[in-house]
Structure 1
Amino acid sequence: MSFIRTFHGDIHPSKLGTTYSHEHIVCRPPYWVEHSADDLLLDDKEKSKLDVLDFKNLGGQAIVDATAIDYGRDVLAVKEISEETGVTMIGTAGFNKSFLWKATIPEHLKKLTGDYKTFYEWIDAKSINELADFVIKEIEEGLEGTNIRGGQVKFGTGYNRITPLEEKTLRAVARAHHETKAPLHSHTEAGTMGFEQIELLKSEGVDLEYISFGHMDRNPDPFYHEKIAQTGALLCFDGISKIKYAPESTRIDCILELVKKGHEDQILVSGDTARKTYYKHYDHGLGLENILGKWVPRFIEEANQKDFDGKKLIDKFFVQNPARCFTFKK
């Protein structure tokens, strides 16, 4: 039996529809709270909801909220947005990257994490299997003690390095994946350490067709992308709209290069919209509407100019590939 696990239960993959594969909807990351980084706090449910409605009005049907426990999830707020807009949401169990773990664990999580001051202390104190059990519980019972079950498991590593605790969480997430069959998602800082993550995942017996590697467009290297794609993994180009990192032409060229090499079934597209200044209704940014409203038409035009079928590829990236990527295969 195959299904996708959402904030409102399990659905058949054919019901998912047009999907953004990596976003953040409502979150207050403890690390950024402690550093007074207001731009990184998506702390107004109503403003977030307005951006979700913009996405829906352009034909959007589902969003993967890639916010793990250490990035300040607001599970109930995201569930309410899903209910009030009709947009399907998929939640995330697991972890992010290690520098975030320096933050103090919020009081409302202490009942789950125990009497540790920081995420670092908690992760350091637990065994790989104990952390795996925690992740399994979030997939099978609910995120943060709710009855809202996670739809994917996530791990992350830093820029050009993997710390011992990041390796620990990677292995824990891999073991949780084996137990639950939940799809895997990787945070690669600036698109680095993909090969090294792959070797660790292989050592845990993970079939790489079950994982999506995030932030691939932060490292716009076609050779690197091809080598990752050859493992069977999916590549998430989730920096759309962020011109400060690269022009859209660079992202589109990298995507079309993968298509040319036969990997069109392994590409996901999203925005990782995690700042107030990226959101339209927080701070006049491009917002969740930008990808469907402006990037997709541009991509289709450029793809068609290069003798690809642009509309067919968009259906792959936003409908067919997410439906396969986020499926539990039991």
Structure 2
Amino acid sequence: MSFIRTFEGDIKPDTLGFTYSHEHIICRPPYWVEKGEDDLLLDDYESSKKDVLDFKNAGGKTIVDATAIDYGRDVESVARLGKETGVQIIGTAGFNKSFLWTAQLTRSHREQLGEYETYGQWIEEASVQQLTQHVIREVEEGLEGTSYRGGQVKFGTGYNRITPLEIKTIRAVAQAHHETKAPVHSHTEAGTMALEQIEILRQEKVNLHYVSFGHMDRNPDPYYHEQIAKTGAFLSFDGVAKIKYYPESTRINCILELVKKGYADQILVSGDTARKSYYKHYDYGLGLEYIISKWVPRFIEEAENRGFHGQELIDKFFISNPARCFRFK
């Protein structure tokens, strides 16, 4: 019987409800701490909580927190926030991308992982098997020594390249997926290298129906999207509201192109809201309520104007597709 793993335990997929598939709620990424990039530090509990409550009050039920160990998770705080707001949280085991790994390990991570200087040193010196066992522990026992278990496993690669250490983490995450049956999530920098990632996953005999590829709207190429969709994988359009990259019209066009080609059941939508300036209650940004309150009505209108049933598509993107994507196989 399939299930979805949240911080509050395993649930039936049909109880997931309206879901954001890729967000960051509370985190202090060591790399950005060292660089002094305060905008990328989501470190005020009450501000994060107010935005999550806005999401809940607008009709949201579940948030996938895509923050991996190398991106400064605060597992206990996110879990407490979920309890206090009543929003279900899915946590993430695994890794992000290699340029973040130049950062110094935090003291707690040194205690947990060993006396390495940086995340890169840890990944380089550990074997694939050791990294696999680390990811398995995060899914089966708990994230960073807590009792809150990961509900997906993650890897990432950089812009237009995959480094040897990233290949190592892809293989470790793939093997942890086989052992735990957890769904897999991929970070693609600016939407690149998904097809190359797929080649490695196929070498590891991963069924791509259990994989979601993030940041697809950062590379608004319908041909490229179709090649990924043909594998059976999920495509996450998780940059909603980030007009600095592309207008919403570009994002919506890419989504509707996939719908037209028959891939509506493989689309996820979210905001990857990872800066203070994106949050309403940190720095007056659009906030976690924006997608539900503003983007969804616009999408429905545009879909209807093109002959699609807008509300049915929204139900797929935010309810039924996440219920399939995030289930343990």
TM bucket (normalised to shorter chain) is: over 0.9
Match of 1:78 in 2: 78
Match of 2:63 in 1: 63
Separation in 2 of the partners of 1:154 and 1:7?
17
Separation in 2 of the partners of 1:89 and 1:130?
27
Match of 2:134 in 1: 134
What does 1:267-286 align with in structure 2 at a 5 Å threshold?
267-286=267-286
Overall identity of the aligned pairs, in %: 72
Separation in 2 of the partners of 1:65 and 1:82?
11
Match of 2:306 in 1: 306
1:29: Cα distance to partner? 0.1
Match of 1:194 in 2: 194
1:197: Cα distance to partner? 0.2
What one-letter code is carried by the residue in structure 1 that aligns with 2:244? Answer: K
DSSP 3-state at the match of 1:28 = coil
DSSP 3-state at the match of 1:63 = strand
Separation in 2 of the partners of 1:130 and 1:102?
20
Match of 1:183 in 2: 183
DSSP 3-state at the match of 1:328 = coil
Separation in 2 of the partners of 1:270 and 1:45?
21
Extract structure 1 runs of 4+ deviating beyond 3 A.
none
DSSP 3-state at the match of 2:111 = helix
Tell me the number of residue pairs that the alignment of Structure 1 and Structure 2 aligns. Answer: 329
Match of 2:204 in 1: 204
1:19 and 2:10 correspond: no
DSSP 3-state at the match of 1:272 = coil
1:232 and 2:229 correspond: no
What one-letter code is carried by the residue in structure 1 that aligns with 2:289? Answer: E
Deviations 1:79-117 (A, max 9, x none): 011001000000000000000000000001112210101
DSSP 3-state at the match of 2:73 = coil
Task: Using structure 1 for the length normalisation, give the TM-score.
Answer: 0.99
What does 1:84-99 align with in structure 2 at a 5 Å threshold?
84-99=84-99
What does 1:136-151 align with in structure 2 at a 5 Å threshold?
136-151=136-151
Let me know the Cα RMSD of the aligned residues.
0.4
What one-letter code is carried by the residue in structure 1 that aligns with 2:302? Answer: E
1:186: Cα distance to partner? 0.1
Match of 1:245 in 2: 245
1:75: Cα distance to partner? 0.3
DSSP 3-state at the match of 1:151 = strand
Separation in 2 of the partners of 1:212 and 1:195?
12
What one-letter code is carried by the residue in structure 1 that aligns with 2:171? Answer: R
What one-letter code is carried by the residue in structure 2 that aligns with 1:302? Answer: E
Separation in 2 of the partners of 1:91 and 1:207?
21
1:150: Cα distance to partner? 0.1
DSSP 3-state at the match of 1:22 = strand
What one-letter code is carried by the residue in structure 2 that aligns with 1:215? Answer: H
Match of 1:322 in 2: 322
- Structure 1 unmatched runs, 5+: none
What one-letter code is carried by the residue in structure 2 that aligns with 1:172? Answer: A
Separation in 2 of the partners of 1:243 and 1:21?
19
Separation in 1 of the partners of 2:109 and 2:143?
11
Match of 1:113 in 2: 113
Task: Using structure 2 for the length normalisation, give the TM-score.
Answer: 1.00
What one-letter code is carried by the residue in structure 1 that aligns with 2:201? Answer: L
Match of 1:259 in 2: 259
Separation in 1 of the partners of 2:317 and 2:87?
18
- Structure 2 unmatched runs, 5+: none
What one-letter code is carried by the residue in structure 1 that aligns with 2:118? Answer: T
Separation in 2 of the partners of 1:111 and 1:137?
16
1:30 and 2:37 correspond: no
1:169: Cα distance to partner? 0.3
